[in-house]
């Protein structure tokens, strides 16, 4: 599991002090950086070096998130396939699971424009971050 703490910005809140739902895509993407570094430690995009492309993302909004309280984002791997993996994220505030979501990233060659099998050494590292069975999950299962 990876965790980051987000301090919401004033501009991310609406008139009622709730964080707008559109910001969770940005927060969850930021939370994926440690996972991306497994594939590309320098996170370089020069010359098509970054080997992942986002294929799918979903979000389940369970509770309101309020400004200015901090939000903890927890990230796991929920599935490892041949050419892709699924990350699972949770946004927690005041001890409550507020938002969950998943994203599918495909191991991709941007020069050849083809998906490729994830190397075994990377799969082994991803396995270390698998979501434990029975850990907290939203009422709406990730797809």
Name which of 107, 105, 69, 99 is nearest 87 in CA terms.
Answer: 105
Fold classification of 2-127 is: Thiol Ester Dehydrase; Chain A (3.10.129)
Mean pLDDT of all residues in 7-21: 95
Give Cα 48 distance to the centre of its chain: 22
pLDDT tens digits, residue range 78-126? Answer: 999 999 999 999 999 999 999 999 999 999 999 999 999 999 999 999 9
Q: Where are the domains of the chain?
A: 2-127
The residue with greater pLDDT, 69 or 137, is 69
Q: Is the pTM of this model over 0.85?
A: yes
For residue 41, what pLDDT is reported?
92
For residue 138, what pLDDT is reported?
44
């Amino acid at each position: 599991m990876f965790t980051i703490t987000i301090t919401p910005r004033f501009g991310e809140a609406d008139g009622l002090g709730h964080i707008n739902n559109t910001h969770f895509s940005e927060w969850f993407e930021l939370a994926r950086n440690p996972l991306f570094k497994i594939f590309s430690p320098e996170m370089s995009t020069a010359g098509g070096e970054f080997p992942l492309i986002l294929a799918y993302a979903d979000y389940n909004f369970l509770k309101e998130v309020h400004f200015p309280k901090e939000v903890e984002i927890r990230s796991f791997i929920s599935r490892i396939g041949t050419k892709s993996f699924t990350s699972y994220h949770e946004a927690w505030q005041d001890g409550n699971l507020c938002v969950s979501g998943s994203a599918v990233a495909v191991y991709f060659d941007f020069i050849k424009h083809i998906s490729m099998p994830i190397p075994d050494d990377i799969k082994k590292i991803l396995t270390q971050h698998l979501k434990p069975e029975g850990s907290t999950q939203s009422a709406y299962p990730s797809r």
